[in-house]
Structure 1
């Protein structure tokens, strides 16, 4: 069974990691896969983490303060969002804006949302990128079933309840090493999504676990089942180094 390093930075509802630090972590663990020269990110170094460089497949779990990210797709789509007026409007709301190298268009990340960033070598899992994305979707489906939320098949990427997305997915794959990942909407304020067209899908909307079952579910409540689902579906075990 494959061992995966678990870097769980989501210890309570008030645990937040900046997006810049998350990007640095992803870069660091991707470089481990690529055997490139590396400097331990400050967020790990400050906590005196000892990195076993022989253990490369990694799962980062965290939560962000409000921000919008846009991935790489058609240039015309990106140009619609990447302009000073639009970005200034988002910043006025209290959110930061990032252009990143994942797939997909614009989405929101913030409080009440679990971020999963697997940095994996797909050769270790005998997966193509598309199969990997489907496997992430299955992790989400397994978690949501625990809350009696029945998800449906959909041609669009992500996990859906009817025409509402409950989990967005966007990945980057370089030399078979994947970064970025998926988010789980727990009790995120859905009003943040009203300022954009999430993932460019005009006829769709967004939902959350709390919204679907009419009770508050914070980001800590799903963690045990989420980890169980990830291990079961990817057929891995976690190290206990950062759990």
Structure 2
């Protein structure tokens, strides 16, 4: 296995889906020294296991970028035990474990699983940095529990943006029928949820991310509120840009989503 470069700065986008995270990621990924990795949390199943299409149009196993990333990180994707990753995720990467992490009540078994699970992400981020040549990797996974997991890493230079869209717009967006174009073997659609269910998710997840900020998460850039009109946005771009070091690295024009 090749030697990894230093762990990169990781700009993690937290929040709920349909909040504008894709637009935010792709905009930030145009900056020098920044690459957009898409929703990394889904790479294990949708990429490695299901071989869905990458943002470049190629299937995951045929994408030159991800092929090289897998070779550097794990000696090839065939060496990744996806079932083990899912098993670890069920043990540590779930919102039901957030109170335990907030209160510092992790037992030795939990910490061991957390360390092993973090190792997959740390190696993956480092390989993305090496292949892209960029110092900052943007991960738009948005999963609240994963934000807490990553905040426990002693290696990652973690920075976070909490993206918040009007609750009514988010609830409406999740009632719409949206096809998943990355699946080519059949016609598949994203799940749909009722406004009542989304109201519960909206309050709960945003509250937990705010608690992570108040807990003193290092590198918490800002809470970015996406309003109906861009000119009414309550968050200036400077807090986000301050999380991105000024570099002369290559531009990355593609956010690779899985």
TM over 0.5: no
User: Comparing both structures, which one devotes a greater share of its residues to helix?
Assistant: 2
Asked which structure has the greater RCO (Cα within 8 Å, sep 6+), the reply is 2
What TM-score does the superposition give when structure 2 sets the normalisation length?
0.28
Q: Could you state the TM-score of these two structures normalised by the residue count of structure 1?
A: 0.29
